[in-house]
């Protein structure tokens, strides 16, 4: 096992990783920007190093600065958390060249899954159903027109290097197809430096269901069941839960088995999330895979009882998974609500500022993952997510009750947060019945 690692991230996930390190007797080196120098989790770290100014490109995204910090502190590995450099193949490669273990997948697997056209090919080789669509990339010519007509509109154009909703165009007819392809291409070129796009049949009002998997370097892989992340607004998830409340046992087995086949086919190591769309008839289709730990990983931890960050550290250090699939059982229901410093009455615009009163919830079945505290100044420079409230109960009904109770207790003043919006979602009868899809927020709020 490692004796010392560096955490190339900030906020709640940096604190989450520090805690896992300490339970494994690993020294944790934190890095921070000038804007985060007062963060109390830096005191919990065994060492803390300033890596630059508030601006992310000069600190948390500054590869040279982070590698320097790792060299100076003589760490064996770097955990990238989520966001920032977590899926940056150049960073993972440089870590390797410097003799530092990147706590994540091998560069090759990361490149293959990061390229969505390649990921579709891998999924097909693994005999996993993808959304019907183009075999590879498409041009704005007659072939695209023919494919769209063969499948029938609507279709969706996606950037091969994209993800999370950027560089996508929904197309309803022949007339707008060419311009959609060209504008998606242009947007992808600017955003990702790669203009490749592909086409899929547009699945109307799907649920977003994702499978947590973990693979070791010996070729052994297990899944930790699925999360339903359908409650999202403009591609930002707001409420996540595990398990997906509408899956039957057989579909769940097929879904999780499919995710594992993709992971094995791509020679993947460490934590991954395999994303699927679930249509009205409960058919699932692979869409993409994320090569990182995700924000919503705690719901999976609560229902399976396994610490995913510890497993990441063990696997990255070369240890084999001692877990077998039959040791991973679903127990109860977990729900997570993201608390963002945003104003729901003002189009969810960021609402930074100093927190003068802060009282977090607690009690039976409640977990709060956060780095904030009374007196903390929420910076406008970073992501607006400031806390995650996770509840775990025997049934979904009880989980909703506990979450409403916990969010009701949570005092964060004077900044505006998404707590009232989450409470509205939890009280909505369609959410209670779980008759939701990815358009739920836009249609109902
Ligand atoms: C889709 C889709 C429907 N059909 N693909 C959104 C983020 C990215 N991970 C994939 N996404 C989607 N892919 C097919 N074939 C619906 C979404 C989607 C969405 C699309 C447009 C506008 C809002 C959306 C919200 C959630 C999901």
Q: Are residues 222 and 308 in the same domain?
A: yes
Q: What is the number of the ligand 1 atom nearest to the C-alpha of 288? A: 9
Q: What is the pLDDT of residue 163?
A: 77
CA 195 remoteness from chain centre = 24
pLDDT at 162: 85
What positions carry a catalytic annotation?
292
The verdict on residue 113 lying in a domain is: no
- The β-bridge partners of 207 are 278
The number of the ligand 1 atom at minimal distance from the alpha carbon of 202 is 4
Residue whose CA is closest, atom 7 of ligand 1?
Answer: 165
Same domain flag for 186 and 280: no
**Given 186, 201, 216, which residue is the final one in a domain?**
201
Q: Based on the domain organization, do 439 and 380 belong to the same domain?
A: yes
Whole-number pLDDT of residue 70 = 98
Q: Quote the pLDDT of residue 166.
A: 80
- Residues 6 or more apart from 251 whose CB is under 8 A from it? 282, 284
pLDDT in tens, the chain (445 residues): 999 999 999 999 999 999 999 999 999 999 999 999 999 999 999 999 999 999 999 999 999 999 999 999 999 999 999 999 999 999 999 999 999 999 999 999 999 999 999 999 999 999 999 999 999 999 999 999 999 999 999 999 999 998 777 889 999 999 999 999 999 999 999 999 999 999 999 999 999 999 999 999 999 999 999 999 999 999 999 999 999 999 999 999 999 999 999 999 999 999 999 999 999 999 999 999 999 999 999 999 999 999 999 999 999 999 999 999 999 999 999 999 999 999 989 999 999 999 999 999 999 999 999 999 999 999 999 999 999 999 999 999 999 999 999 999 999 999 999 999 999 999 999 999 999 999 999 999 9
Domain enclosing residue 345, as ranges? 207-444
In terms of domains, do 275 and 415 share one? yes
The answer to whether residue 127 sits within a structural domain is no
Rounded distance between C-alpha atoms, residue 160 and residue 219, angstroms: 27
Ligand 1 pocket test, pick from 236, 289, 438 with the greatest ligand atom count within 8 Å of Cβ, gives 438
Nearest-CA residue for atom 16 of ligand 1: 203
**Do 420 and 281 lie in a common domain?**
yes
DSSP assignment of 330-383: --SEEEEEEEESEEGGGTTEE--EE-SEEE---STTEEEEE---TT-EE-TTS-
CA–chain centroid gap for 80, Å, is 13
Report the distance separating Cα 426 and Cα 441, nearest Å: 12
Predicted model pTM: 0.98
Residue nearest to atom 6 of ligand 1 (CA): 165
209 contacts 228 by C-beta, under 8 angstroms: yes
Q: Is residue 288 part of a domain?
A: yes
> What is the 132 CA–ligand 1 centroid distance (Å)?
14
Q: How far, in Å, from the CA of 201 to the mean position of ligand 1? A: 11
Residue 386 Cα to ligand 1 midpoint, Å, equals 26
- Sign, CA dihedral 405-406-411-415, equals negative
* Residue 200 CA, closest ligand 1 atom number: 15
What is the pLDDT at residue 277? 98
Residue 110 lies in a domain: no
247 CA to middle of ligand 1, Å?
A: 20
Residue 119's closest CA among 285, 251, 294? 285
Looking at the structure, tell me whether residues 281 and 418 fall in a common domain.
Answer: yes
- Residue where a domain stops, chosen among 170, 201, 232: 201
Domain count, the chain: 3
**290 shares its domain with 402:** yes
Cα separation of the two ends of the chain: 48
In ligand 1, the atom with minimum distance to the C-alpha of 155 is 15
Residue 123 lies in a domain: no
Q: Are strands 4-7 and 333-340 parallel, antiparallel or unpaired?
A: unpaired
Q: Please give all residues whose beta carbon lies within 6 A of any atom in ligand 1, as ranges.
A: 131, 156, 163-165, 168, 170, 200-203, 206, 235, 277, 287-288, 438
C-alpha span between 280 and 307 (Å, rounded): 33
Ligand 1 atom 20: residue of nearest CA: 165
Domain holding 138: CATH number? Answer: 3.30.1490.20
pLDDT of 6 reads: 99
Residue 438 CA: which ligand 1 atom is closest? 26
Residue 117 lies inside a defined structural domain of this protein: no
Is residue 118 one of the residues assigned to a domain? no
Q: Max Cα separation, the chain?
A: 62
Same domain, 176 and 323: no
Gap from CA of 339 to ligand 1 centroid (Å):
23
**Rounded distance between C-alpha atoms, residue 445 and residue 442, angstroms:** 6
Domain boundary among 172, 201, 230: 201
Where residue 371 sits, what CATH number does that domain have? Answer: 3.30.470.20
Task: For the beta carbon of residue 70, count every other beta carbon within 10 angstroms.
Answer: 24
- Shared domain for 141 and 90, answered yes or no, is no
Ligand 1 midpoint to CA 38 (Å): 39
Alpha-carbon distance of 445 to 155, in angstroms, equals 26
| CA-proximal residue: ligand 1, atom 14 (nearest) | 202
Clarify whether residues 395 and 346 are in a common domain: yes
Q: Are residues 97 and 163 in the same domain?
A: no
Task: Classify residue 67: in a domain, yes or no.
Answer: yes
Quote the CA–CA distance of 288 and 311 in Å, as a whole number.
23
């Amino acid at each position: 096992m490692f004796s010392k690692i560096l955490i190339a991230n900030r906020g709640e996930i940096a604190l989450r990783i520090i805690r896992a390190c300490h339970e494994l007797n690993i020294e944790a080196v934190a890095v921070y920007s000038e804007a985060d120098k007062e963060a109390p989790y830096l005191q919990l770290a065994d060492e803390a190093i300033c890596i630059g100014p508030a601006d992310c490109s000069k600190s948390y995204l500054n590869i040279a600065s982070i590698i320097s910090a790792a060299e100076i502190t003589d760490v064996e590995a770097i955990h990238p958390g989520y966001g920032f450099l977590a899926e940056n193949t150049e960073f993972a490669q440089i870590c390797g060249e410097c003799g530092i273990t990147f706590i994540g997948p091998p560069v090759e697997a990361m490149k293959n899954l990061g390229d969505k056209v390649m990921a579709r090919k891998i999924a097909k080789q693994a005999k996993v159903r993808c959304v019907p669509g183009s075999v590879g990339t498409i041009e704005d010519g007659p072939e695209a027109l023919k494919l769209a007509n063969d499948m029938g509109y609507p279709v969706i154009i996606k950037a091969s290097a994209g993800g999370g909703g950027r560089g996508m165009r929904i197309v309803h007819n022949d007339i707008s197809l060419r311009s959609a392809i060209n504008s998606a291409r242009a947007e992808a070129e600017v955003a990702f430096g790669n203009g490749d796009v592909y086409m899929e049949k547009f699945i109307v009002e799907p649920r977003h269901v994702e499978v947590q998997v973990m693979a070791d370097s010996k070729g052994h892989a297990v899944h930790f069941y699925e999360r339903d992340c359908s409650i999202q607004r403009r591609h930002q998830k707001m409420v996540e839960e595990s398990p997906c409340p509408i899956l039957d046992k057989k579909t769940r087995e097929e879904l999780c088995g499919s995710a594992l086949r993709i992971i094995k086919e791509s020679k993947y190591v460490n934590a991954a999330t395999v994303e699927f769309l679930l249509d009205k008839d409960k058919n699932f289709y692979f869409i993409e895979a994320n090569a990182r730990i995700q924000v919503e990983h705690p719901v999976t931890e609560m229902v399976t009882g396994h610490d995913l960050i510890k497993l990441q550290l063990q696997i990255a250090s070369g240890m084999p998974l001692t877990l077998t699939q039959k040791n991973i059982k679903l127990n109860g229901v977990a729900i997570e609500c993201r608390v963002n410093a945003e104003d729901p009455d003002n189009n969810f615009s960021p609402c930074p500022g100093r927190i003068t009163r802060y009282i977090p919830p607690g009690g039976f079945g409640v977990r709060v993952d956060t780095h904030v505290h009374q007196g903390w100044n929420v910076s406008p420079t970073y992501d607006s997510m400031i806390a995650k409230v996770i509840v775990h109960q025997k049934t979904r009904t009880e989980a909703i009750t506990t979450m409403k109770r916990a969010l009701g207790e949570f005092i964060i003043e004077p900044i505006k947060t998404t707590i009232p919006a989450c409470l509205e979602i939890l009280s909505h009868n369609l959410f209670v019945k779980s008759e939701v899809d990815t358009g739920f927020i836009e249609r109902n709020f």
